[in-house]
Amino acid sequence: MLLKDRVAVITGGAGINGLGFATARLMVQHGARVVLLDLERADPAAAAARLGAGHLGIVADVTDKASCEAAVKRVLENYARIDVLVNNAGITQPRKTVDITAQDYDAVLDVSLRGTLYMSQAVIPAMQRQRGGSIVCISSVSAQRGGGILGGPHYSAAKAGVLGLARAMARELGIDQIRVNSITPGLIQTDISKGKLTEERKAEIAESIPLARLGEADDVAGACLYLASDLSSYCTGITLDVNGGMLIH
């Protein structure tokens, strides 16, 4: 029970096959009360109900600062504290550099990078009052290797920005005992990648990975649990690769 009686907020968490929901499910198993934030069409309340009693789903848009603040206010009204934030919300687009429009750029950067900032800003005051907390930011191996399998260069830029933001927050907030760390998943089999790769292409990619398989959502969930819990109490500002060895260098 690594998170007994702690409150964890997970953005983009309502997709049943996604990283956020897998993380929520594992955190519930370790005693956490979980709040799933997502857009209305994702029905976060229904997703939270699947976790069992005592958990909450809130409609929120991480690109809207007021929406983030309203969501955090509701969490505090229900649970009086926030111990963990997982900045998981993100979108991707398969674009070549010259094909990225202003609208494409804004859409991807707003969710992954602006959303990480706005949600972190919203929870930090509560964590400061508590003198502690853990913020986990989901980046991507594409931020490190200069491009991924599915996302365009603007996705890599957004996820690289997440790494820089997380490190800067870690440096600033350490005095408040707030830890900020990042995870860089490789190719994880979720709804985002579903139907976009043939079985042959998946096999080719797996052959290039030292662990010889694509990742599962639960692989990332385990890393989130580690960074959220006291097992990582002396870790801040780190980037934890969860990619089967794809980025050994």
The pLDDT of residue 62 is 98
Other Cβ atoms closer than 10 A to 64: 15
* DSSP H helical ranges for the chain: 19-29, 44-51, 65-79, 102-109, 115-130, 142-145, 153-173, 199-207, 217-228
pLDDT band at 192 (very low <50, low <70, confident <90, very high): low
- Choice among 79, 105, 118, 155 that is catalytic: 155
**Distance from first CA to last CA of the chain, Å, rounded?**
35
Q: Assess whether 79 carries a catalytic annotation.
A: no
The pLDDT of residue 151 is 87
Structural contact between residues 36 and 21, judged by C-beta atoms closer than 8 angstroms: yes
The CA distance from 148 to 189, in Å, is 14
- Kindly report, residue by residue over 4-55, the tens digit of the pLDDT: 999 999 999 999 999 999 999 999 999 999 999 999 999 999 999 999 999 9
- Kindly report, residue by residue over 147-161, the tens digit of the pLDDT: 767 789 999 999 999
Specify which residues 38 forms β-bridges with: 59
**Please, what is the average pLDDT of the chain?**
95
Q: Does 249 score more than 80 pLDDT?
A: no
Structural contact between residues 159 and 140, judged by C-beta atoms closer than 8 angstroms: yes
The pLDDT of residue 189 is 87
* DSSP H helical ranges for 80-197: 102-109, 115-130, 142-145, 153-173
The CA distance from 245 to 214, in Å, is 11
Structure token pair of residue 178: 């707030």
- Residue 175's alpha-carbon distances to 166, 181, 230, in angstroms, are 15, 15, 17
- Kindly report, residue by residue over 213-237, the tens digit of the pLDDT: 999 999 999 999 999 999 999 999 9
The CA distance from 39 to 146, in Å, is 29
Q: Does 115 score more than 70 pLDDT?
A: yes
Looking at residue 176, what DSSP letter applies? G
Q: Does 195 score more than 90 pLDDT?
A: no
Structural contact between residues 34 and 51, judged by C-beta atoms closer than 8 angstroms: yes
Structure token pair of residue 111: 């969710």
Model-level pTM greater than 0.75?
yes
pLDDT band at 193 (very low <50, low <70, confident <90, very high): low
Q: Does 240 score more than 80 pLDDT?
A: yes
pLDDT band at 201 (very low <50, low <70, confident <90, very high): confident
The pLDDT of residue 194 is 62
Closest residue by Cα to residue 184 from 247, 92, 234, 106: 247
